[in-house]
């Protein structure tokens, strides 16, 4: 476990928020609040997987999904695709910052050099800054 100050300034090339276990409405709303009117850093691929189709539908009606898309996020259909690393180019990254079940961290660390777990706010802010 790292304190955010210990890794401050570390370049981020991939960010992930979501999964069936942590892609909650409030996480998606938090990311949208931070990203509204901003863009994901050009060197960051920000993948988002809503926790369920119901969750995706609810936040879509609030404009959350369009805000995330406008910011440059990639929205995946709810499910297990991105958690184990399917449908995403994790292999070439230096660092991934994610909000996902910790059980997937070991699987991702075989694909990337560094993986950090963070809150929805930390993930979204880091995706904007690229660090």
User: 95-99 and 45-49 as β-strands: parallel, antiparallel, unpaired?
Assistant: unpaired
Q: Dump the DSSP string for 52-90.
A: -HHHHHHHHHTTHHHHHHHTTPEEPPSSSSTTTTTTS-G
pLDDT in tens, 3-39: 778 888 888 888 888 877 678 899 999 999 999 999 9
Q: Which two tokens stand for residue 9?
A: 């300034």
Q: What predicted TM-score, i.e. pTM, was given to this entire model? A: 0.81
How far is it, in rounded angstroms, from Cα 111 to Cα 94?
Answer: 10
pLDDT in tens, 81-112: 566 555 555 555 555 666 555 555 555 555 55
Strand stretches in the chain, DSSP E: 14-18, 45-49, 74-75, 95-99, 114-117
């Amino acid at each position: 476990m790292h304190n955010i100050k210990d890794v401050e300034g570390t370049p981020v090339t991939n960010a992930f928020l979501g999964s069936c276990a942590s892609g909650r409405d409030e996480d998606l709303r938090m990311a949208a609040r931070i990203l509204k009117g901003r863009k994901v850093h050009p060197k960051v691929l920000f993948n988002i997987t809503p926790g369920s189709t119901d969750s995706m539908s609810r936040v879509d009606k609030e404009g959350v999904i369009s805000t995330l898309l406008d910011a440059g996020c990639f929205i995946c259909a709810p499910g297990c695709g991105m958690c184990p690393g399917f449908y995403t180019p994790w292999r070439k990254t230096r660092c991934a910052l994610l909000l996902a079940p910790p059980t997937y961290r070991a699987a991702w660390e075989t694909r990337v050099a560094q993986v950090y777990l963070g809150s929805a706010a930390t993930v979204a802010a880091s995706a904007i800054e690229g660090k």
